[in-house]
């Protein structure tokens, strides 16, 4: 429970309508899409940067932890308030402030949902490239704090590549701004990049200037199936190695295809052992030429069926299938443990073999889903956490998968972040001095450890 005096001061800022502290209300803000839960003492919905600043001044004075929250779709426990205190939710700060396509930027508040930016840009013939599969609900504040990726980041890059500037409120309540509306801007440390991926541990993002891009003239989408998972992975390495960078190259294995088909009956090939959803874009002639090369490569690797989406509806169906993969897996078992290891693309076939080998060893089911073109794997293990034996095996399998990725020159997370899920594994990829440097940065910016305490730093 918050100190009564602190509560009254917070109510003075936001009013009773924007403040929750009944147990049944708090429960709704105690979890994300990972497995841990912790109740906050209060949930607060600021409407302006000034309110955020005043709330943080109070939190600092009373030493109350503050954890930012967008849509709560994190899959690593990042917005779970493990040290309780205040959850600050941005659903009331959801305005698009400015769209400027000649200068190629958009200015938004943190609670704007990613898909709403796409919709707003549509009439201008522009789009915002980072497209997490959660884009229909996840917010820009959460996307920036997690440095979110997504399928088309293979060609276009991840969130940090699109953040030109931002306004941030520090734990002290100070409001700072970095970057600008300019595509080129080399003035001092690029602090906006430091806040990308900081998981709400350094400051609260209250406004962001994002780079946008013109929509390509042509988009082509292919679904290719294989009767062998290894060949599916080899086709990925072959395509990228030949110098073609598709917009997206999404790999799904047999278990994943069947889980989607069971849930949505989209006509996916239930017999296929692997599939690639490949998208390219650009000018028409270049797309046609690239498509020919891609078809040549997948055939060389034993493709059994190649289907091009001929209409927008067909294309959307294929993407719906891919985006629903995580959700449909949740139907296979009481819990679903999904990971995010990433390896250099030439190591994708080897990493997939490792994942299958390790999970076979522990007699666990695994669905292999990957943004394969950039080496980002999402092995998903359906399991029951209340079955202690099974859960031990899941944990052991993932430890080995992390180690295997690192041994192949890869890393722990391509886009989901560290949060609570992988904090213990950080030393696999960072030495002590590097972790100490992160701790020192945190100490300088947030000396009382007010912001999202208990996480990776």
Q: Which residues contact ligand FAD by CB under 6 A? A: 32-33, 67-75, 78-79, 90, 110, 132-134, 138-139, 141-143, 145-146, 148-150, 199-200, 204-205, 326-327, 415-416, 452
Compare residues 291 and 348 and give the one whose CB is closer to ligand FAD. 348
Cβ 261 to ligand FAD, closest distance in Å?
A: 18
Give the residue closest to ligand FAD by C-beta: 142
Q: Which is nearer to ligand FAD, 111 or 291 (CB)?
A: 111
**Cβ nearer to ligand FAD, comparing 374 with 390:** 374
337: left (phi over 0), alpha (psi -120 to 50) or beta: beta
- Provide the minimum distance between the beta carbon of 86 and ligand FAD in the complex, in angstroms, as a whole number: 11
Q: How far is the CB of 315 from ligand FAD (least distance, A)?
A: 18
* 74/237 with CB nearer ligand FAD: 74
Q: Judge contact between 164 and 144, C-beta under 8 A.
A: no
Which of 306, 320, 329, 308 is CA-nearest to residue 258?
329
Tell me the closest approach of the beta carbon of residue 117 to ligand FAD, in angstroms. 13
Q: Determine the Cα–Cα distance for residues 337 and 334; give it in Å rounded to an integer.
A: 10
Q: Nearest CA to 159 among 87, 243, 70? A: 70
Q: Which is nearer to ligand FAD, 135 or 397 (CB)?
A: 135
Cα–Cα distance, 416 to 418 (Å, whole number): 7
Looking at beta carbons only, is 49 or 232 nearer to ligand FAD?
Answer: 49
C-beta of residue 179 within 8 angstroms of C-beta of residue 192: yes
CB of 157 to ligand FAD, least distance (A): 12
Is the Cβ of residue 228 or residue 261 nearer to ligand FAD in the bound state?
Answer: 261
3-state secondary structure of 221: strand
Lookup result for tokens 């409120």: 169
Q: How far apart are CA 232 and CA 409, in angstroms?
A: 21
CA 247 to chain centre: 17
Smallest gap, in angstroms, from Cβ of residue 305 to ligand FAD?
A: 25
Q: Please state the closest distance from residue 151 (CB atom) to ligand FAD, in A.
A: 7
Rg of the chain over Cα atoms, rounded to whole angstroms, equals 22
Nearer to ligand FAD, 92 or 387 (CB): 92
CB 328 within 8 A of CB 369: no
Contact of 94 with 111, CB cutoff 8 Å: yes
Among candidates 126, 35, 23, which has minimal Cα distance to 385? 35
Nearest approach in angstroms of CB 89 to ligand FAD is 8
Grouping H, G, I as helix, E, B as strand and the rest as coil, residue 42 is strand
**Of 40, 96, 95, 35, whose CA–CA distance to 68 is shortest?**
40
- The least CB distance from residue 25 to ligand FAD, in Å, is 16
Burial 92-130 (b: 16+ CB within 10 A, else e): bbbebeebeeeebbbbbbbbbbbbbbbebbeeeebbbbb
| Residue from 113, 94, 317 nearest 221 by CA | 317
Q: Which is nearer to ligand FAD, 231 or 382 (CB)?
A: 382
Could you tell me the smallest distance in angstroms from the CB atom of residue 392 to ligand FAD?
25
Query: Closer to ligand FAD at the Cβ: 50 or 230?
Result: 50
């Amino acid at each position: 429970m918050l100190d009564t005096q602190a509560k009254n001061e917070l109510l003075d800022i936001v009013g009773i309508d924007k403040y929750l502290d009944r147990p049944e209300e708090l429960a709704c803000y105690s979890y994300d899409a990972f497995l841990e839960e912790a109740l906050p003492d209060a949930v607060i919905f600021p409407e302006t940067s000034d309110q955020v600043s005043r709330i943080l001044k109070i939190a600092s004075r009373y030493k109350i932890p503050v954890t930012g929250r967008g849509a709560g779709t994190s899959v690593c426990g990042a917005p779970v308030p493990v040290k309780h205190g205040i959850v600050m939710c941005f659903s009331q700060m959801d305005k698009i402030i400015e769209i400027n396509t000649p200068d190629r930027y958009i200015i938004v508040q943190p609670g704007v949902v990613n898909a709403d930016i796409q919709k707003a840009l549509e009439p201008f013939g522009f789009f915002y490239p980072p497209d997490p599969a959660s884009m229909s609900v996840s917010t820009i504040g959460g996307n920036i704090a997690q440095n979110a990726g997504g399928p088309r980041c293979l060609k276009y890059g991840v969130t940090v590549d699109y953040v030109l500037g931002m306004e941030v409120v520090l734990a002290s309540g100070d409001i700072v701004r970095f970057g600008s509306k300019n595509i080129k801007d080399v003035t001092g440390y690029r602090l906006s990049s430091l806040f990308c991926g900081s998981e709400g541990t350094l400051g609260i993002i209250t406004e962001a200037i994002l780079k946008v891009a013109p929509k390509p003239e042509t988009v082509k989408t292919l679904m290719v199936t294989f009767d062998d998972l290894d060949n599916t992975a080899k086709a990925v390495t072959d395509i990228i190695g030949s110098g073609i960078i598709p917009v997206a190259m999404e790999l799904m294995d047999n278990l994943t295809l069947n889980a989607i088909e069971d849930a949505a009956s989209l006509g996916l090939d239930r017999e296929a052992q692997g599939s690639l959803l490949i998208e390219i874009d650009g000018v028409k002639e270049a797309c046609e030429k690239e498509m020919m090369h891609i078809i040549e490569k997948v055939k060389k690797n034993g493709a059994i069926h190649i289907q091009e989406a001929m209409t927008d509806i067909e294309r959307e169906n294929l993407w719906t299938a891919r985006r629903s993969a995580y959700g449909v897996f949740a139907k296979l078992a009481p819990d679903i443990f999904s990971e995010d290891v990433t390896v250099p693309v030439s190591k994708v076939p080897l990493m997939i073999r490792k994942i299958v080998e390790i999970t076979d060893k522990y007699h666990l089911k695994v669905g292999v889903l990957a943004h394969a073109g950039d080496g980002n794997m999402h092995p998903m293990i359906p399991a029951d956490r209340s079955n202690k034996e099974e859960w031990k095996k899941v944990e052991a399998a993932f430890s080995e998968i992390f180690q295997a990725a690192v041994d192949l020159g890869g890393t722990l997370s391509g886009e989901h972040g560290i949060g609570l899920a992988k904090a213990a594994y950080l030393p696999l990829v960072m030495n002590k001095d590097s972790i100490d440097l992160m701790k020192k940065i945190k100490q300088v910016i947030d000396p009382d450890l007010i912001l999202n305490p208990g996480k990776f730093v």
